[in-house]
Structure 1
Amino acid sequence: MTNVNVYLRENLGSISSNISVAPRIDEKKLNNAVQAFAFTGSPSTVVALFDNTLFGSGKDGILFTGEQLIYRSGSFTDPVSVPFVGIAAVEYVETVSGSKGDKVEVSLLISRKEGADLTITGLSSCNYRKLAETLQTCVQDFSEFKEERQLVSIDELGEPLKVAYVQAVINSAYANDQVIDDKEFAEVLQLMTRLDLSPSARFILRAYMTSGSAQISLATLLERIHSNSPVGQIKALHVSLVKDLINLYYSTGGCDIARFAFLQNNRELLQVSDEEIELAVMAIKNDYDMLRDDLTDDQIVSALKLLSAKAAAVGTPLAAVYLSGSVVGMSAAGLTSGLASLGMGGLLGMSGMMTGIGVAVLIGVGTYAGVRKLTGADELSRSKRRELMLNEVIKQTQLTISLVMKDINFITEKLNEAIQAQGAQDVKIKRLMGLMTRMTSAGQVLTEKTSSAQASATKLRCAQFLDEGKLRTLTREPTKTELYDWILDFYEERSVVVSSADAEEEVSEVKLCIKRDRDSKQLENLARAFEVIGYFNVGDVLLGSASEVAGKAREKLSSLFS
């Protein structure tokens, strides 16, 4: 049987309308639940949350992970953790009550291998019978229970998987006419950039694109993807791959999916339904539409709602469609930022997505809130919203060009070595090769200058000297705690000279300064992180400080009465 995390995700959603399943768990609700249920694991491992509160705070009900369920019956009760491995049986119980025996109360009885049994009751709009069946199957049919991140973006996965993923797309390009034309080549290069491939991986793929008939079968490539995939994410990877295959087909003028031979001939291997293909097509169209100047904000929001509804109907997390980023050139984190800039991150489940695909998307999700607070505006203008998304497209395109320059330089060096090894003496060949070498080298220099300037500009959006206490205060929420260590890792203690207008002489102080070895991409993520936590926003700082003071006051009161 499938992994327990996958099983729970696929079955818990039908228990009640009050259940949120990852990655569609609201960030604020998730933060509340992690704290109220005293869950000590990572928020990214939460599979589902049954919210039994009246106003949807997420503080009471049941929290599910791959290892356990945690039950909290009310605000004044302690949470009860029940590891699946310790459950003997789960039963649906009906109890007759009332003076005339005309009332029936339903509940869930969890019999434990050790310790007292647990009765769960009072769940609003809950199908207790279905819940009992789901949990009984869980403890009966699975032998391994493990907490795991619910969704991981492809750029965070290992190189073998990413290489096989791109090779599958290259196979599709060859299948059309046995040639990779300019448009297909450009799409593959952009995909390689979005997936953050290493130089060695890019070299493998360059060689593969010139291999012609020496292609690896799609079946073998999918086996490699499966063997290197996080447990339970294979289906999501298939949906994402199909989206990228269809986009490549469209880029060469294709318009009828029924005539997309590579896709149709491999439907059995790709294991995607007609509905999932329709979802991928809808997402691709939506990506391009969002950048159109003549599309109003209301139209964008309406289209996104339709896309979200389609994903829900298909039963595929919309986040899965965007595991490789957006086909218009945005990375997973950049796309999430763009959607959030439209105020749509939460609706699409992207704020839940960020709990499962790492710091990069955690940063992306919060960008809208950070930008909004920094500008002091409740709503960004339509042009500003598009500017955020277009800037991300531009950055990704510039990065692709930069990588192309590096690859051209690499190929030129190899070509020079080959010519010299053959002893070619033709003066014209030598002159042309020398010119090509100088041009590629000059291009590389210009690229490095651009990157350096970009890094300097980005640094202006980061804290020059980090206030560690302030950082700790602003990262107290469970879904932001990992940002504390992540941001702190960018800084090191250095002695700096400080002076003031009324000081007679300069003095040295030890401060936390940005490390000198960080590149522009890393600094861009750091700048986004500061925006996420509201580091430069006075309101966020004051709110965080007030929360910290309130927390300490509660601790002191508790100690007085304990």
Structure 2
Amino acid sequence: MKKYFRRQLMSIENLIKDTVNTVGETTYLAPDIPNKKMDNALKAFGTAINPKYVIAITDSTLFKSAREGIIYTGEAIYINELLKKPRKILFKDIVGVEKNYFEVTKKIGPPTKKNEVMIELINNDIKVRVSSVTSPYGTLDEIVLTGLNEDAFGDLIQKIIEEIKTNVDATKVTDQHRPLSDMSENTKLNYMKVVINYIYSSENEIDSDKYSQIMSLVAQNSLSLESRSSLRPYIGSTEKKENTTVLLNILKDNCIKEESNFELLKLSLLKDILNLFFKNNESYKWEEDKFILDFKENLNIDSKQVVGIIELLNIDKNIIKNKMNDNQIKKTMTDISAQAVSVGVPLAAIYFSGSVVGVGATGITSGLAALGMGGVIGLSSMATGIGMLAFIGVGTYKGIKKFSAVGESEKNTQRELLLQHIIKNQQLSITFMIEDINEVTKDLISEVGRTSLNQQKLARYAEMMRVMTSAAKKTSNKRESAEKEQISIAIPKYLNIERLNELTSSATNQEIEKHILSCYEKEDINSIDKNREENSKERIILKENLSKSNLEQLKAEFNNIQYDTVSGATKAALKNSAKNILGHFSQE
């Protein structure tokens, strides 16, 4: 990558992002502003602020509700103080700023030195005073915000004034939340070209694994038929390769035109490049890759951010790899969010082009909303079992769950939803690959029909067919694995033999019991008790590598005998208890 990436003058948005953390004690930075804080602020400020343009919020409330403080966009600040009308100050209306110092006398002890910021507005004889304490001089137009760092706030306003003088476009606003899938086809196409350029930076051709990864990214971001047609020859040959720096400049210009966030886009690009790097270079360090180093340097990405992205990638992959349940996913996403803040990487950048496990940005967003982490949850999530609760009461219902041991199983709704999105994306990838295979086949037939055969061209078409067919097969295998895992969610991992025996005791269910038992095996568990003595016990666990048809049959059989329902489990528990009681009396 040549080092002449066109650097544009800093926008007000970037300037604010770089310095706003020093202005107050608590700051929320887009695109990681919690929904509740955003909603509170917009409601309290009572003005028509589009949330997608909010860059940051300085929270000056005691209990951190974000109802007072400062909202920043690329063109203005909105300041709200308790019991006062919110104030909007356009950056283009600010003609000057000054910092003053004054003393506040106290009943006991020496006077305290305090600061104030005076903002001078165009065509206005008065100045707006912003400080953390009330003025001793009785200034009429003043705003008092708890915890405000007047020096940092005054410096920020001064930098904004200076930037506007040299850059007339500095006050443009951009959407802080738009994912790649919602951007223009030109942006999506050039994004993919940069990813492909990375692959070609170290290899002469794209193999089936990398082609499969490219098509997964294409599917996640819904590239149009026209864009995919343009991308096909770009994937097939280095002769079509465009300069990476030129592509990045196009992407930056597009972000300005589309009012989108280039900072998110560049970090997302790095995420996708790093994902490709580690899938193919597990024994190498990213610092040894020239393309990544040049990309990082030219786009002013810190090494700490690179390391942070790598850590976040690994956490993201573990959600599916470790078969996490809903509670674990929620905790992991909370950890990811905290980790993202600590390394200076917006969480949105990790999912800007979709998750590396094959889930688009929309799927991730809806999944987080369902976990209460992305929006307000509707009543549907609370409706399950409501008839039972109304009939027997909450306490009784919990008692039955405990008695029947149904409540022991963890909820896996979100993992199932993630797997559904992965399967959908893989199916779409296969569809796109088939389209590519059909187009290459047409070109191959056309070439064969020519009078003078170009053997080199024929060989290239044949190789492309081999790569595409192999990639389609691999993606199909991945899809089947995801489908098997999705089915497995509804199948108990550990088998309760007593419950199974009671639920399959009738003659008609004997074959069901036989098949279920054939799909499980014994597992020894060793543990150390409080006396440091080793204990060994046995449990019955689901066999690995069962076929998809076998799993589907198992799922149907468990449903048929009502193994994992409250009624089925209760019935089995009662029958077993009755047997024990009768056995006790017969012994007497």
Equivalent of residue 98 in structure 2, options 86, 91, 94: 91
Structure 1 residue 150 corresponds to structure 2 residue 158:
no
Q: 1:196 is matched by which residue type in structure 2?
A: S
Q: Deviations over 1:82-117 (max 9, x none)?
A: 211112222233332336771344333222222332
1:213 to 1:47, Cα distance in 2 relative to 1, 3 A = same
User: Hey, what does 2:67 align to over in structure 1?
Assistant: 59
Determine the C-alpha separation between the residues in 2 that align with 1:72 and 1:314: 30
Instruction: Report % sequence identity.
Output: 27
Deviation for aligned residue 1:56: 2.9
Equivalent of residue 110 in structure 1, options 102, 106, 119: 119
Determine the C-alpha separation between the residues in 2 that align with 1:209 and 1:417: 20
Equivalent of residue 310 in structure 1, options 324, 330, 339: 339
Partner SS for 1:39 = coil
Equivalent of residue 399 in structure 1, options 418, 428, 446: 428
User: Hey, what does 1:218 align to over in structure 2?
Assistant: 244
Structure 1 residue 184 corresponds to structure 2 residue 207:
no
Structure 1 residue 18 corresponds to structure 2 residue 46:
no
Q: 1:281 is matched by which residue type in structure 2?
A: I
Partner SS for 1:188 = helix
Is the CA contact (8 Å cut-off) linking 1:5 and 1:232 kept in structure 2? Answer: no
Deviation for aligned residue 1:129: 0.8
User: Hey, what does 1:328 align to over in structure 2?
Assistant: 357
Determine the C-alpha separation between the residues in 2 that align with 1:311 and 1:24: 9
User: Hey, what does 1:238 align to over in structure 2?
Assistant: 266
Determine the C-alpha separation between the residues in 1 that align with 2:281 and 2:412: 30
Is the CA contact (8 Å cut-off) linking 1:341 and 1:388 kept in structure 2? Answer: no
Determine the C-alpha separation between the residues in 1 that align with 2:45 and 2:95: 23
Determine the C-alpha separation between the residues in 1 that align with 2:245 and 2:172: 29
User: Hey, what does 2:279 align to over in structure 1?
Assistant: 251
More displaced 10-residue stretch of structure 1: 214-223 or 235-244: 214-223
1:32 to 1:235, Cα distance in 2 relative to 1, 3 A = closer
Is the CA contact (8 Å cut-off) linking 1:6 and 1:232 kept in structure 2? Answer: no
When the two chains are superposed, the root-mean-square deviation of aligned CA atoms in Å is 3.3
Q: Deviations over 1:239-275 (max 9, x none)?
A: 2111111211233353422444542465434543321
1:297 to 1:383, Cα distance in 2 relative to 1, 3 A = closer
More displaced 10-residue stretch of structure 1: 378-387 or 88-97: 378-387
Q: 2:64 is matched by which residue type in structure 1?
A: G
Deviation for aligned residue 1:296: 6.3
Alignment of 1:161-172 (within 5 A): 161-172=187-198
1:95 to 1:295, Cα distance in 2 relative to 1, 3 A = same
1:259 to 1:371, Cα distance in 2 relative to 1, 3 A = farther
Q: Deviations over 1:372-429 (max 9, x none)?
A: 34547999944222112111111111221222233334444455555566699xxxxx
Determine the C-alpha separation between the residues in 2 that align with 1:72 and 1:265: 44
Alignment of 1:426-505 (within 5 A): none
Is the CA contact (8 Å cut-off) linking 1:184 and 1:251 kept in structure 2? Answer: no
Determine the C-alpha separation between the residues in 2 that align with 1:371 and 1:397: 28
User: Hey, what does 1:290 align to over in structure 2?
Assistant: 319
Q: Deviations over 1:12-36 (max 9, x none)?
A: 1221232212112221222232232
1:381 to 1:341, Cα distance in 2 relative to 1, 3 A = farther
**Greater RCO between the two (CA within 8 Å, min separation 6)?**
1
Deviation for aligned residue 1:205: 1.1
User: Hey, what does 2:54 align to over in structure 1?
Assistant: 46
Q: 1:119 is matched by which residue type in structure 2?
A: R
Q: 1:250 is matched by which residue type in structure 2?
A: F
1:177 to 1:421, Cα distance in 2 relative to 1, 3 A = closer
Deviation for aligned residue 1:226: 2.2
Unaligned ranges ≥5, structure 1: 346-350, 352-364, 425-435, 444-562
Is the CA contact (8 Å cut-off) linking 1:2 and 1:232 kept in structure 2? Answer: no
1:395 to 1:96, Cα distance in 2 relative to 1, 3 A = same
Deviation for aligned residue 1:298: 6.4
Determine the C-alpha separation between the residues in 1 that align with 2:219 and 2:378: 27
Structure 1 residue 263 corresponds to structure 2 residue 272:
no
